[in-house]
Structure formats: C-alpha cells, structure tokens
C-alpha cells in the first residue's frame, strides 16, 4: 500500500512531526477533541440525552492549529431530546472531521433510560448505534511506494456501537463513563487499517458546582480519554457562572494545551460559547492556536439559563431555582 505524506513544504514537515508527537505521546483518539466538552457531553456519552431539562440543539465548529496547512477542522451538529416522563431520551449526532487528505463523517443515534437512585440522584443508561464514512483522497498529497489502486481514492464505511452511564444530582454534580465503539479494530481492513487505528476508547467526565454567592457559581470539571495501548489524555477545566448569564474560565489539556473559555446566555433559549487553545508542546511554535465555537438552542421553556420546574420520576413537582450548569 502507498504511504501518504504531504507536499514537502516547511510547514507541512512541521505539521507531520507534530502529528507524530501528538499521537505517540498518547493523545490519539477515535473521535475529534473538544475544549468545550462540558457543553458537549451528548457527543461522547449516549446516556446524557435523558438527563437534560429541555430538548436542545448544539452546533459546534473547531479550527485546530491555525496556520498549518491540512490541520484538523471539525463541525458537529447534535441534539438531545428528553421524553416528558424524564425516564427516556434520544439523541442524534453528525460530525464532519477533516485532517489533510483524510475526512470522516460520524453519524449516530442514541437512546437512554433514566432511573431515580434517590430523591435527588439520577442514573442514566445509554446506547448509540451509527457509523463513520471514511474518505481518503491521494490527490491531496504526494505518495511513496506502489501506485494507489483505482482512482486514488479510498471510501469506506465502518459501523459503531457504543454505550455509557451518566449519574448526576441536579445543579450540583455529575459523573459519566462511556465507550464510543465496542467494535474496536475488528472492522478495519485493507487500506483503512493503515489510516485508522481502531483501538477501544473510554471517556470519563465529571464536574461539581459550588455556590460562591447568590450571583456566582464555580464549576471545576474534567474529561479523560483512555485509548487501549496509550497513556491517559486528561483535560481539566474551571468555569465561573456570573448572574446566571455569563461564563468565563480556563482549561488545561495535560502536556498539550492551555485554553481560555467564555460563554453568554443570549436569551433563555440561546447560548453561545467560545474557546481559544494555545499549544504548550513544541507544536505551539508553528501555529497561532485553535478556535472553537458552540451555539446551543433550548427548545423548551426557560432553557438552562433561567428558572424552570419539572417533575421527578415519582411524579412530584420539583422546583429548579438555579441554572443547569452542565
């Protein structure tokens, strides 16, 4: 099989070396990475959909490693829809990820079921089914070795089956664990095997909300990704919520990047967020950072940024006087 390399410009050599560093240091992943993961839980944990207060739609765009040709670009559209009884939920995700001559489109649908552990604590179980369309275009780079077969393109589809758990107490804390694809590397053959490493991935996410004052909340959070055969990839963040409307904070991806985050609840039904990453590894010398934006719509009354009421699984009314900060 032909070995792919980018055109030999200085920037692309550095880009290639950066990729080698990125993957060999344990930051490899089956799915795109997000800095604003705390607003994007449904994209990697199917159990999340039954936990939301209202139906929501999220649109996210990430431009990574600016100034490097062929660097990753990611676009995601996701929805989470809880049922009226708050026991069931469904979700849907479409993610387009571009990296040099390789592009992938992830599509999945999820279902989750929620049980009430105590009067305040809920536990959700979720599964998702979907797949990824992989496209490799040799014309976007040069190659070494034998000529590529056919027209120089590789188009493959591989299925995905994942599952997750999500436990939380409203407006206080949450913890989740998920596996995006149980099928692992058994589905990769021929050309795809040389492009995608189908290792089993596990995600761990959690956070806790502290009431600093009546108009100020503080939430430390984390996301850890573990891929079989690679070290743990850890993300740690801290966000402040001011007057139930404005969020500001910082994040650190261990041995990789530091980030600044900000968000604003434009209305009870619309939230917009932005983050900027600066690489702390050697790759930071050759790019001007990464940008990420998220736009969320809450389709029910109130949204996450205002007061709302709901009923627990026993049918008793329950008043939520503070915003849902996750």
Least confident among 29-33, 86-90, 142-146: 142-146
pLDDT score of 254 more than 80:
yes
DSSP 270-304: EEEEEEEEEE-SGGGGG---EEEEEEEEE-SSS-T
Asked if 161 and 127 count as a contact pair (C-beta separation under 8 A), the reply is yes
Note whether 292 and 37 are within 8 A (CB). Answer: no
Please name which of 208, 203, 204, 205 lies closest in space to residue 170, comparing C-alpha atoms. 208
pLDDT in tens, 149-159: 555 678 888 89
How distant, in Å, are the alpha carbons of 117, 180, 253, 276 from that of 226? 28, 11, 14, 24
Give 45's contacts (C-beta < 8 A, 6+ positions apart): 126, 164, 166, 176, 177, 178, 203, 205
pLDDT at 116 > cutoff 50: yes
pLDDT for 155: 85
Q: What is the pTM of this model?
A: 0.80
Query: Per residue in 54-65, pLDDT tens?
Result: 899 999 999 998
CATH no. for 3-320: 2.40.160.40
Ranges 55-64, 147-156, 230-239, 306-315, most confident: 55-64
Helices marked H in 109-245: 190-195
Residue 14: strand, helix, or coil: helix
pLDDT at residue number 283: 83
Tokens representing 227 are 């891929």
Nearest CA-CA partner of 27 in 221, 277, 207: 277
pLDDT score recorded for residue 246? 96
Is 90 exceeded by the pLDDT of residue 96? yes
Mean pLDDT of the chain: 80
Percent above pLDDT 70 for the chain: 73
The pLDDT tens digits for 2-29 are 333 434 344 443 444 444 334 333 333 4
Above 50 in pLDDT, residue 272? yes
Q: What pLDDT, on the 0 to 100 scale, is given for residue 314? A: 47
Q: CA 221 to CA 268: how far, in whole Å?
A: 24
Distance from C-alpha of 139 to C-alpha of 4, rounded to nearest angstrom: 10
């Amino acid at each position: 099989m032909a070995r792919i390399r980018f055109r030999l410009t200085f920037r692309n050599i550095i880009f290639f070396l950066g990729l080698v560093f990125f993957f060999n240091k344990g930051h490899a992943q089956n799915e795109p990475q997000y800095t604003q993961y705390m607003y994007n839980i449904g994209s990697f944990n199917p159990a999340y959909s039954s936990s939301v207060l209202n139906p929501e739609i999220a649109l996210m765009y990430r431009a990574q490693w600016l100034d490097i040709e062929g660097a990753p670009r990611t676009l995601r559209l996701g929805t989470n829809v809880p049922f009226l009884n708050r026991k069931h939920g469904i979700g849907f995700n479409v993610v387009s990820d571009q990296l040099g001559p390789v592009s992938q489109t992830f599509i999945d649908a999820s279902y989750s079921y929620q049980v009430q552990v105590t009067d305040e604590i809920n536990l959700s179980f979720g599964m998702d089914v979907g797949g990824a369309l992989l496209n490799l275009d040799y014309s976007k780079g040069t190659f070494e070795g034998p000529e590529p077969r056919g027209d120089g393109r590789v188009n493959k589809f591989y299925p995905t089956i994942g599952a997750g758990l999500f436990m939380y107490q409203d407006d206080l804390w949450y913890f989740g664990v998920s596996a995006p694809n149980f099928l692992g590397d058994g589905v990769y053959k021929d050309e795809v095997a040389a492009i995608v490493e189908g290792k089993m991935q596990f995600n761990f996410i959690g956070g806790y909300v502290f009431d600093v004052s009546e108009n100020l909340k503080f939430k430390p959070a984390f996301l850890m990704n573990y891929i079989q055969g690679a070290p743990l990839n850890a993300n740690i963040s801290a966000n402040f919520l001011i007057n139930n409307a404005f969020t500001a904070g910082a994040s650190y991806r261990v041995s990789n990047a530091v980030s600044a985050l900000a968000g604003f609840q434009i209305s009870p039904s619309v939230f917009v967020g932005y983050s900027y990453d600066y690489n702390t590894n050697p790759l930071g010398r050759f790019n001007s950072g990464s940008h990420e934006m998220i736009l969320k719509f809450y389709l029910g009354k109130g949204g996450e940024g205002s007061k709302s009421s709901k009923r627990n699984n026993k049918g008793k009314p329950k008043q939520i006087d503070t915003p849902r900060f996750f």
